Amino acid sequence: MRRDRIFFIITALAVVIIDQLSKIAIAGSIRYYESVPIIDGFLNLVHIRNRGMAFGLMNRPDGQLSLYFFVAVTLVVIILLILWFNSLKGGSRRLTFGLSLIIGGAIGNLIDRLRFKEVVDFIDFFIGKYHWPAFNIADSAISVGVFWIVINVIFFTSSDDMIKGYEKRIKDFEE
């Protein structure tokens, strides 16, 4: 097995395990809608559930159709990211890291959707009365992974490498 593949699997698996263990700890120790201050005026741990997506969009109590939509979209995204990973040349550890964070986060939230039909969120950042929507470790991994990939594509990938990659994908698709 390629070293990049092992790195990819271990990183994604670590995200899933940390995400799920943190959600189990929160659900087992903090009542639903309870808030526990960690850093006064800045950070609380809370226990809320989100049936929607990021920032509570499409968060509806009757969201059975949206559940199927989110599960399907998550599965498609995971498949596409795995295909992207498989198309990378050796030595693309920077992109491998970002992709593994995103996939680990997507799987972590997918597990919640399949188990509870909603996602457990518990990190509540705020300044005064201005709150960032609550999120979890999986959401953090997805955000960091996307940011990591964007930074690496912008600053560490030459345009020649990108063009060669697109040409290879087109050639593979035509065959």
Q: Residue 163 contacts by C-beta under 8 Å, 6 or more apart in sequence?
A: none
**pLDDT tens-digit profile, the chain (175 residues):** 578 889 999 999 999 999 999 999 999 999 999 999 999 889 999 999 987 665 555 555 565 667 888 899 999 999 999 999 988 876 577 889 999 999 999 999 999 999 999 999 999 999 988 888 899 999 999 999 999 999 988 887 655 555 555 566 666 666 6
Catalytic residue among 62, 139, 160, 172: 139
Catalytic residue check, 139:
yes
Q: What is the pLDDT of residue 87?
A: 86
Q: What is the pTM of this model?
A: 0.82
Question: Would you tell me how many other CB atoms lie within 10 Å of the CB of residue 94?
Answer: 17
User: In the annotation, is 121 catalytic?
Assistant: yes
pLDDT confidence of residue 69: 86
Q: Where are the domains of the chain?
A: 3-174
Query: CA-based angle 103:107:109, to the nearest 5?
Result: 120
Tell me which of 121, 124, 161, 172 is the catalytic residue: 121
HSE-up (13 A, CA, CB side) for residue 97:
12
